[in-house]
Amino acid sequence: MKGLRFCLALWLAKLSIPALKLTKHNATDYPGHLAIKICPDFLDKIDKPELVIAVTGTNGKTTCTNMICDAFEAAGRKVLCNRYGSNINSGVSTCLISGSTLTGKCKYDTAILETDERSAPRIYPYLKPDYIVVTNLFRDSIMRNAHPEYIQWIINKGVPENSKLVINGDDLISCGIAPGNKHIYYGIGQIASDTTEEVNRLVDLRVCPECGRKLVFDYRRYHHIGRAHCPECGFKSPDYDYEGHDIDKAAGTVQVTDKEGTRAYKIANDSLFNIYNTVMTVALMRDLGFSADEVQSLMDKVKIPATRFSRVAAGPCTVTTQLAKEMNALAVTRATDYIRHQEGHKRLFLLLSCYKVAKNWSENMGWLYDCDFEMMNDPLIDTSVVTGPRALDFKLRLLLAGVPEEKILCIEDEREAARQMDIAPGDSIYIYCGMVEGFGVVDDCRKIITERCEALGGKEQA
């Protein structure tokens, strides 16, 4: 018996969904919030699908959740998913409410749920996921996330003993999560661009988590991602259960080797970060018992959500929107590293001023000094446009990174900056956009830039 309180919570929460939609609210969080308020153990009591997969980590949660969901839907499963990332306990509850009948019975066979890493203790003990996928752990918002060791500690407080963890074996911080649980490790074997040197400012793990001595990296991909060992105590990176290798960007594939053999799988995007996401999805599906043939076919249907990365042709230019969360040095560094390796000349338009908090507060800008803005000092990056209430902080950081002042356009008003930036035929323009709350500004700026590109006339870029 779930009790009257549970039923009342469920019905009122369900009723609130159409009411919120009628008043043009997105209803992704409030119904769950209301249900928990009425029935504090609501998340524990509500019926769950027979298979529950939680996705967490610093970066790539929404992308991975969507990719896994695409694969399951392609496999014909009835999937309940918080695709748009409402990922705290109230958001997860809302998702389960929307997937239940009036009697509280779940209408789906599978749930793929993005979960906020800090909310793990408020979600996992009640959700009891069969699998917890961890994308990676890096430093994130200084205000909320402090440092990845803290996030590892928080997640560890919530992981149920029977949950299987799907972990990036190239990330030794993630590897420290729930050491007593069953771990499935995925990763990408050594590639030509790997190095043993430290090439990034942000490196969250330099010392052995066991003994504190300096780790030796056998190879390093970026930041602390790679394979390492401790010469003092013998601590080392785990062996892979699923190893990605032989990335073929032209063919759009990555080979993945598991205990049954090797197979090529389609990649949804050629950035290394997203190739990790592909290998993760393959690892999860294979561990769940899907055959290599089935997974190979399912991966053809997997896409990167357009809010994460989208590219449009505009007259003789291309305009790309690249999600790069502000306050997150890793996200901006990885986005820039990807962009600078693209062919041709580029112009960057930075919309990273923490719009959500700018009105009343001031988000800590220390992350600028963890981020590799030095990558923007590139001969093929012709302009970096810095905007928003923190435009001057960005300008100073770019100057310190060696970007010539004449290549920086600093205008606080974002739309005005979009009107004034230099645009020429053949340009590839990259708009860095941060939090969802800033998307109004992003849409406006993208529209202005796209229209200006189209006004140049000429042939559309491929």
Partner 1 sequence: MIIEVLFPEVCNLYGDLGNIEYISRSLEASGETCEVINTDLYTRPAFADRDDIDLIYMGPVTEKGQVRVIESLKPYKDRLMQMIEGGQRFFMTGNAMEVFGKYIECEEGGPRIECLGIFPFMTKQRMMNRTSSFWVGQYGETDVVGYKSQFTHIYPEDTGSFKSLFKTEKGEGINPGFKDEGIREAGFAGTYLLGPLFVLNPVLMKEYLAEMGYKDIKPLYEETAVEAYNKRLAEYREPGRSYKY
CB of 333 to partner 1, least distance (A): 12
Q: Which is nearer to partner 1, 301 or 395 (CB)?
A: 395
Q: Long-range pairs for 152-159 at CB < 8 Å and ≥24 separation?
A: 152/176, 152/177, 154/117, 154/118, 154/120, 154/121, 155/56, 155/117, 155/120, 157/120, 157/121, 158/120, 158/121, 158/122, 158/123, 158/124, 158/125, 159/120, 159/124, 159/132
Choices 39-47, 73-81, 210-218, 374-382; region in contact with partner 1 by CB under 8 A: 210-218
Q: Which is nearer to partner 1, 287 or 393 (CB)?
A: 393
Q: Which is nearer to partner 1, 105 or 213 (CB)?
A: 213
* Structural tokens at position 126: 């009640």
Q: Does 400 contact partner 1 by CB under 8 A?
A: yes
Per-residue x/- mask for partner 1, residues 121 to 150, rule CB under 8 A? ------------------x--xxx-xx-xx
Q: What is the 3-state secondary structure (H, E, C) of the chain?
A: CCCHHHHHHHHHHHHHHHHHHHCCCCCCCHHHHHHHHHCCCHHHHCCCCCEEEEEECCCCHHHHHHHHHHHHHHCCCCEEECCCCCCCHHHHHHHHHHCECCCCCECCCEEEEECCHHHHHHHHHHHCCCEEEECCCCCCCHHHHCCHHHHHHHHHCCCCCCCEEEEECCECCHHHCCCCCCEEEEEECCCCCCECCCCCCCCCCCECCCCCCECEEEEEEECCEEEEECCCCCCECCCCCEEEEEEECCCCEEEEEECCEEEEEECCCCCHHHHHHHHHHHHHHHHCCCCHHHHHHHHCCCCCCCCCEEEEEECCEEEEEEECCCCCHHHHHHHHHHHHCCCCCEEEEEECCCHHHHCCCCCCHHHHHCCCHHHHCCCCEEEEEEECCCHHHHHHHHHHCCCCHHHEEEECCHHHHHHHCCCCCCCEEEEEECCHHHHHHHHHHHHHHHHHHHHCCCCCCC
Q: Does 393 contact partner 1 by CB under 8 A?
A: yes
Residues in region 151-190 near partner 1 by CB under 8 A: 153
Choices 9-17, 32-40, 207-215, 270-278; region in contact with partner 1 by CB under 8 A: 207-215
CB of 384 to partner 1, least distance (A): 14
CB of 149 to partner 1, least distance (A): 4
Q: Does 106 contact partner 1 by CB under 8 A?
A: no
Q: Does 17 contact partner 1 by CB under 8 A?
A: no
Q: Does 392 contact partner 1 by CB under 8 A?
A: yes
Size of the site for partner 1 (CB under 8 A): 35
Among 311, 395, 415, 419, binds partner 1 (CB under 8 A): 395
Decide: residue 260, CB within 10 A, 0-12 exposed, 13-18 middle, 19+ buried. Answer: exposed
CB of 207 to partner 1, least distance (A): 6
Among 20, 74, 199, 396, binds partner 1 (CB under 8 A): 396
Q: Does 399 contact partner 1 by CB under 8 A?
A: yes
Choices 45-53, 345-353, 374-382, 390-398; region in contact with partner 1 by CB under 8 A: 390-398
Q: Does 45 contact partner 1 by CB under 8 A?
A: no
Please say whether the beta carbons of 92 and 115 come within 8 A: yes
Q: Which is nearer to partner 1, 344 or 402 (CB)?
A: 402
Q: Which is nearer to partner 1, 288 or 365 (CB)?
A: 365
Among 67, 95, 314, 357, binds partner 1 (CB under 8 A): 357
CB of 444 to partner 1, least distance (A): 23
CB of 367 to partner 1, least distance (A): 6
Please say whether the beta carbons of 90 and 127 come within 8 A: no
Q: Which is nearer to partner 1, 8 or 143 (CB)?
A: 143
Residues in region 430-459 near partner 1 by CB under 8 A: none
Q: Which is nearer to partner 1, 147 or 345 (CB)?
A: 147
User: Distance between CA atoms of 280 and 288, rounded to whole angstroms?
Assistant: 12
Q: Does 401 contact partner 1 by CB under 8 A?
A: no
CB of 417 to partner 1, least distance (A): 16
Residues in region 320-339 near partner 1 by CB under 8 A: 329
Name residue 100's beta-bridge partners: 106
Residues in region 233-292 near partner 1 by CB under 8 A: none
Per-residue x/- mask for partner 1, residues 360 to 379, rule CB under 8 A? xxxxxxxxxxx---------
CB of 200 to partner 1, least distance (A): 12
Q: Does 207 contact partner 1 by CB under 8 A?
A: yes
Residues in region 212-231 near partner 1 by CB under 8 A: 212-214
Contact residues: partner 1, CB under 8 A:
139, 142-144, 146-147, 149-150, 153, 203, 206-207, 212-214, 329, 357, 360-370, 389, 392-393, 395-396, 399-400
